[in-house]
Amino acid sequence: MTGLPTAGVGPEVSVDLLVIGAGPTGLYGAYYAGFRGLSVAVADALPEVGGQIAALYPEKLIYDVAGFPAVRGQDLVDRLAEQAGRWEPTYLLGHGVVRLDDTGEGILAVTDAGARITARAVLVCGGIGNFIPRELPVGSEYLGRGLRYFVPRLDELSGQDVVVVGGGDSALDWALSLEPIAASVTLVHRRTRFRAHERSVEQVHASSVRVLTPYEVEKISGDGSVSEVAVASTDGGRIVLPAQSVVAALGFIADLGPIEQWGLRLRRRRILVDPTMRTSRERVFAAGDIADYDGKVSLISIGFGEAALAVNHIAALLDPACSITPGHSSDA
C-alpha cells in the first residue's frame, strides 16, 4: 500500500484520536472517526497497513466479511485504507507505541521511533499484540537477501525457485498461492503430518508443489543472496534444492509487549472493556481481537462493529453536545 500520508521519524503530531494498530479494525476505526469529524493518527509497529492479514495472509480468501462472498486479504486491506483515506488520517508506520502518558486533557503517546502523538483519546486495535516470527535455525545471514518470513507481494517471487518451510496454514497457503507464478515450489516440513486445514493439505498434494517430509533445512547458501538450500531427512537422506527465495512459515510468538505496562485491566492477555468499548483507563478505548468482554467472539466483522461503537462514544466524550447516534451515512 503506497501513497498514504505518513509521518516521518520523530514527528510531533496532535490529533483528536490516536488509533493504535493499522489492521482491519484500526483502519475501519480511522474511517469512522473521520466520518464523525475527528482528526486521526494511526500508529503501527509494522511497516505497512493491514496487520496480520497483510503480513501473513495477503492472498488468502476471506469469506465472513459482510457484503463480500469472498475477498482476498490484501484487497480487503486496500479497500479499508481507501475508505479511511477520504478523511486523510496521518499514518505512523514502523512506529510501535511504547508509552501512554496522561496530560490532563488527553494522552501523550511515545513511539519507539521517537514520535510524540498528543491525542484527546486513544483507540487500541492491536490485534494479538506484537507477533514475532519463529526463526529458522539456519541461514539468518540471508534475511532480506532471499530469506523472508512474510510475503506481502507474491509477484516479487514470480519466476523464482521457492522453498517454503513449515506445516501450518500460512505455509501451505503460500505454497499454493506461489505455485502458478513461481518457477518451482518445494514445501519442506519436519513432520509427516501437517497442522494446516485438511483441505489445504489435499490441494497441495494434488498440485505441482514438491512436498518433502520429514525434512529440515540444513543449510542455506549463495554468493550474496540465496541460490540453494540443503535439506536433510530424519533417515539421513540429503537433497540440495535450487532456490532464490526461502519462505520460513514456522509460526509466530504473540506478545502484548508495552501494552502490559499501560495500566489497563487485562484478562486472557486481552484488554477488558465495558459495553462502550471503554477500558479501565480514562480516554482509552479498545476494539478488535485485543479487546475482551463476556461473550466475546473474535471475527473481523465484529471488530468493525466494535470500532464504530467505540468511536461513537469517543465522539460524545470529546464533545458532550455530540450525539452518540451518528445518523445515516447516506445523509452526510
Please state the domain count of the chain.
2
Report whether 252 belongs to an annotated binding site: no
Name the region of 91 (left: φ>0; alpha: ψ -120 to 50; beta: rest). beta
User: Cα–Cα distance between 228 and 72 in angstroms, integer?
Assistant: 31
Nearest to 190 by CA among 207, 173, 169, 166: 166
User: Cα–Cα distance between 317 and 332 in angstroms, integer?
Assistant: 21
CB atoms under 10 Å from CB of 309, counted, come to: 18
User: Cα–Cα distance between 17 and 27 in angstroms, integer?
Assistant: 13
Nearest to 40 by CA among 6, 88, 112: 88
Please say which residue of 227, 250, 273 terminates a domain: 250
Report whether 131 belongs to an annotated binding site: yes
Residue for grid cell 509494522: 46
27 and 170 in a single domain? The answer is no
Q: What is the pTM of this model?
A: 0.79
User: Cα–Cα distance between 185 and 179 in angstroms, integer?
Assistant: 6
127 and 33 in a single domain? The answer is yes
Residue for grid cell 502523538: 117
Report whether 44 belongs to an annotated binding site: yes
Specify the 3-state DSSP secondary structure of 186: strand
The pair phi, psi for residue 84, each rounded to 5°, is: -65, -30
Q: Is residue 46 part of a domain?
A: yes
16 and 93 in a single domain? The answer is yes
Report whether 25 belongs to an annotated binding site: yes
79 and 109 in a single domain? The answer is yes
Counting other chains too, the contacts that 99-105 makes at CB distance below 8 Å and 24 or more residues apart are 99/258, 99/261, 99/262, 100/262, 100/281, 100/284, 102/282
Report whether 112 belongs to an annotated binding site: no
Q: Which domain holds residue 175?
A: 135-250
Q: Is residue 126 part of a domain?
A: yes
Please say which residue of 250, 277, 304 terminates a domain: 250
203 and 162 in a single domain? The answer is yes
Taking 70 as the pLDDT cut, the residues of the chain under it are 1-3, 8-9, 130-131, 330, 332
The pair phi, psi for residue 173, each rounded to 5°, is: -60, -45
Q: ∠ CA(110), CA(289), CA(28), 5° rounding?
A: 75
Report whether 330 belongs to an annotated binding site: yes
Res 268: pLDDT: 87
Specify the 3-state DSSP secondary structure of 149: coil
Q: What is the pLDDT of residues 26-68, one digit of tens each?
A: 999 999 999 999 999 999 988 889 988 887 777 778 899 999 9
Residue for grid cell 529458522: 136
Domain with residue 53: its CATH number is 3.50.50.60
User: Cα–Cα distance between 285 and 125 in angstroms, integer?
Assistant: 9
User: Cα–Cα distance between 317 and 63 in angstroms, integer?
Assistant: 35
Nearest to 51 by CA among 31, 76, 34, 69: 76
Q: Is residue 116 part of a domain?
A: yes
CB atoms under 10 Å from CB of 131, counted, come to: 18
Sequence-separated (6 or more) residues with CB below 8 Å from residue 236: none
